[in-house]
Amino acid sequence: MSGSPTTWERGSVMAKFELDDAPTKKSKPTGWLAAAVVLILAGGFAGAYYLPLKTAHGLLMNEHEALAKKTQELDSALKSSGADLKTTLAEREKLKQALKDASDKEAEYSKEVDALRASIDKAFEKHVSAKYVTIESAPAGAAATAKSNLLFRPNTAKTLPFASKFACSVTPSLLEGSRATVTVEVAPTEDKDGFAKASEQAAVIADLLRTSCKLSANQVDLAVRASSPAGAVTLRVETTDKAPAFSPATLLN
């Protein structure tokens, strides 16, 4: 029969119906699962590597800043120490030069005074041996003393022969070019007459030095000195050069 569906057609329709009514299978959610895994792995990597590295980097930066600051402080300290050392060395050189200058001046002065003393000792050597004269060191030279009764007649200012010998013995120490002077000294006394006589005798010796001994007026002086022995005349021969104001010892103290 042409109007009724055939058995094959009915089977095809049923098969189609069954296919249409069959439940559709859903795809598995693999995309978000993979993303979750990646995020977990990334978080683990960050926790295991990035964060410790960042912390270590921060510590290194802090240490670097601390070292840089310390280096700058040391550099400043070194520059300051260098400047202080330079100043200290300069002051040391100045002190060394001052010590040398003071030592040279002291040595030169001592040499001059020693030479003057040696000259006086030699000039009066015979008179000292004869016990007519005594010699004592003075701060800047030497002093020769003779009893008045060897130089003058009793109770007068008239000279004896030894007076000229005594006075002129200092001449070699006061030659031209010498910076020494001679001072005729007598001791003070409460006896006015005795002091007047002693002063007159000292003036006579001073005159002998300028005339018989041919010394210049500016090389001869008169003085009354308490330390001079009574009943005697003293010839104090000293250099006019001043003793050094500073010595190595005073500079170091």
Q: Is 178 part of any domain? A: yes
Looking at the DSSP assignment, which residues form a beta bridge with residue 238? Answer: 141, 181
Q: Is 168 part of any domain? A: yes
The model's pLDDT over 128-154, given as tens digits with 9 standing for 90+, comes to: 999 999 999 999 999 999 999 999 999
pTM over 0.75: no
Q: Is 133 part of any domain? A: yes
The model's pLDDT over 211-233, given as tens digits with 9 standing for 90+, comes to: 999 999 999 999 999 888 999 99
Query: Secondary structure of the chain: what % helix, strand, coil (to 5)?
Result: 60, 15, 25
Q: Is 57 part of any domain? A: no
**CATH number for the domain that contains residue 185:** 3.30.1330.60
Q: Is 99 part of any domain? A: no
Looking from the CA of 119 toward its CB, the CA atoms found within 13 Å total 21
With 0-12 / 13-18 / 19 or more C-beta atoms within 10 angstroms meaning exposed / middle / buried, residue 152 is buried
Report pLDDT for 69: 81
The number of domains in the chain is 1
Q: Is 129 part of any domain? A: yes
Q: Is 59 part of any domain? A: no
Measured CA to CA, the distance from residue 81 to residue 88 in angstroms comes to: 10
Q: Is 88 part of any domain? A: no
The model's pLDDT over 9-36, given as tens digits with 9 standing for 90+, comes to: 555 555 554 544 445 555 555 666 666 6
**Residue 198's domain spans which residues?**
115-239
